[in-house]
Structure 1
Amino acid sequence: MSNRVWRIAKHEGIENLRLTTEDVPKPGPGQVLLRVRAVALNYRDWAVLNGFYPRPYAEEGRLIPCSDAAGDIVEIGEEVTKVKKGQRVCSLFFQTWFKGELEEEDMLQTLGAPIHGVLAQYVVLNQDGVIQFPDFLSYEEAATLPCAALTAWQATYVTTRHVGPHCTTLTQGTGGVSIFALQFAHLGGNRVIITSSSDEKLAKAKELGADDFINYRKTPEWHQEARKINDGRGIDNVIEIGGPGTINKSLLAAKKYGDVQAIGFRTEGTDTNVATAMVYNCSQVHGIFVGNKKMFEDMNRQGNPQAQSEASD
């Protein structure tokens, strides 16, 4: 049996992605062999492929990209006690961050950079580096959970105090993290404002539970519009995706003592008023780097209708 594996020959663009045929790896003690059924792509994967993601790589010229996969455990190694053959599981973005605070050594154990990722038919992972996903999800749906969904979960439930019917969340754009954040915030009872450059995408966001909409192409000062929508008092929790080109407006959109969740680096910019805006608004800015296994377990439980039904019985 052979294993089709994608590797990055050079971190200089998609033309340097190579498909290879290799032997299927064998799981060692404490490890499992995962048959990959679906892989989700994130902006981070594009950054790694193009060489502007700021991390080292495990094997220069041979890196297997991508962090997010869902599949079946088809073989287990010795000493595996936490999972079983046949279980449907997701990979964990951080292979060693299970609970508590993120440590520096955990930063060196992230799939797709610096260690090998999951863009292959079969991959070997530690038994602690996978997690079961809810039965009602398809492989394709589950593959979007490890990075985008967990990032959004931490930003909407863990690092903010603002959850509930009297709170407002602003999400930027309609990418994976923002759409998950929209749904999680809506689940928590928040009023959700979403921005996009596309009215068509805003219409789709309405179907997913968004309450208010701003086309930032038509309204460049979207931070002012967001405050106006919320009766001038500012936003409780801002999901900040853009980075250098949007962070200042996110801070200005936030209410006094509001939260800004700094997640992405999608836009270029030279904002110089960030410190002033933070002080003026007494803001709390949280750097969000995906999340740990405990957060993933909480997300699966809270977002699983079957689990909620069983808990209420």
Structure 2
Amino acid sequence: MAYPESARAYVLAQYGRVYVDGLARRVGIAGGACAAAPGDGGVSEDQGRFSSVPRPNGHPWRVSAPQNLTPGSDMAGEVVALGPDAKGWALGDRVTASFFLHRTGDNYNTDIMNSALGAPVSGVLREYCAFPAHSLVAVPEHLSFEEAATLPCAGVTAYNALFGGPRPLTAGETVLIQGTGGVSIFALQLVIAAGAQAIVISSSDEKLAVAKRLGAAHGINYSHTPAWDEELKKLTGGQGVDRVVEMGGNTTLERSLSAVKTGGHIHLIGQLGGIDDVPAVSVVVPAIWKELHIRGNSIGSVAHFRCLLRVLAARPEMTRPVIDRVFDFADARAALQYVGKQQHVGKVVVRM
């Protein structure tokens, strides 16, 4: 297939609090080391898939982004063109791309942060994209494009949190997972695949039922049980959980500090409960007295991605991505709005 000079893309006139009104239009395509659409490279128009559409209420980390930005950070598709530096790839390869284009291993720094797809780098909600070859990873044969498109942000984040630190998750541990969104569901699946026990909290009995079907040992509805940290202590014989996959930020952190056992781990991932309008929580006293291991987690690297894919290939029955809903490319605005309602379990995908 020829690599076109232009293609359709969703463009945000302004990156701000509300940006679901971006319009599809034709934009120029920058040359790249390896083309694979959709993304910042190229893929077959009717075969590309991508997910992880950005939240309609704005980015929590206040990334500086240019005008006319194309949103979206996750994709999967087929290589349709190769640049002179695209070593190791061939036309027709099924690929996906790292969230941070230049984070290949333990090289995380400010420059790497600025290579994030979707902001500040223009993202993947487009028909064709150009990627540096080192940012790509091969899609396992057992995964569809839709399934592979769910992995770059949520899947890699969950893997890095549980296995990327100095003390990886081991069998027999008990892990608290907050919520049932993309990262949380991947974390649940990876915990079960590792032979550990998962406890999930959510405000929805229906979502907790899904989590239990996926293998969660217990589900706690925090709307009915606001003191969920005390309930967790009861479930663990008064000891607390070994790890917390912390998604809420300051709205949940205080109870997470209470729920984790002495010497336990808190993986700081999300700020879904808000930032400016939520009082900050001090971790100093509980972290000292309980000798906690608290680690921030900003997605992961190409190396983490490849490790995740090996786990998925080894345990496909336990780790197949959970897709809540698939939207067509023309309905990308509706996909953004659907994600903003936070009614989904797992991932939402836009199909090219």
Q: Deviations over 1:238-288 (max 9, x none)?
A: 000001111111111111110000000100331444322222221111000
Identity among equivalent positions (%) equals 33
The SS at the match of 2:27 is strand
Tell me the equivalent position of 2:85. 79
Task: Please state how far the C-alpha of 1:207 moved relative to its aligned partner.
Answer: 0.9
Q: Could you say which residue in structure 2 is the equivalent of 1:311?
A: none
Contact kept, 8 Å, 1:163 with 1:189, in 2: the verdict is no
The match for 2:52 is 41
User: Secondary structure in 2 aligned to 1:72?
Assistant: strand
Displacement of 1:133 after TM fit? 1.4
Where does the alignment leave 5 or more consecutive residues of structure 2 unmatched? Answer: 36-40, 317-352
CA distance in structure 2 between the aligned counterparts of 1:301 and 1:203, rounded to whole angstroms: 28
Determine if the alignment matches structure 1 residue 20 to structure 2 residue 29: no
| C-alpha displacement of 1:31 | 3.3
Pair 1:10-2:18 in alignment: no
Matched position secondary structure for 2:91: coil
Once superposed, what is the RMSD of the aligned Cα atoms? Answer: 2.0
Structure 2 Cα separation of the partners of residues 214 and 165 of structure 1: 22
Corresponding residue for residue 102 of structure 1: 108
Determine if contact 1:260/1:284 at 8 Å carries over to the other structure: yes
Contact kept? 2:250, 2:281, Cα under 8 Å: no
The TM-score, its normalising length taken from structure 2, stands at 0.81
**Matched residue, 2:226:** 220
Q: Number of matched residues?
A: 301
Residue in 2 that maps onto 1:310: none
CA distance in 2, matches of 1:240, 1:272: 13
Aligned-partner SS, 1:237:
strand
Q: Does 1:183 align with 2:189?
A: yes
**Distance of 1:259 and 1:52 partners within structure 2:** 23
> Which of the pair has the greater relative contact order for Cα pairs under 8 Å at 6+ separation?
2
Q: What secondary structure, in the 3-state scheme, does the structure 1 residue paired with 2:250 have?
A: coil
CA contact (8 A) 1:248 1:271 kept: no
Secondary structure of the equivalent of 2:55?
helix
Letter in 1 for 2:26: T
Aligned to 1:290: 299
1:160 CA displacement: 6.1
2:289 and 2:23 map into 1 onto residues whose CA distance is 50
In structure 1, distance between residues paired with 2:296 and 2:22: 31
Q: Structure 1 residues 189 and 229, CA, compared in 2 at 3 Å: closer, same or farther?
A: same
Contact 2:85/2:133 (8 A) holds in 1:
no
Q: Which runs of 5+ in 1 are unaligned?
A: 308-313
TM superposition shift of 1:220: 0.4
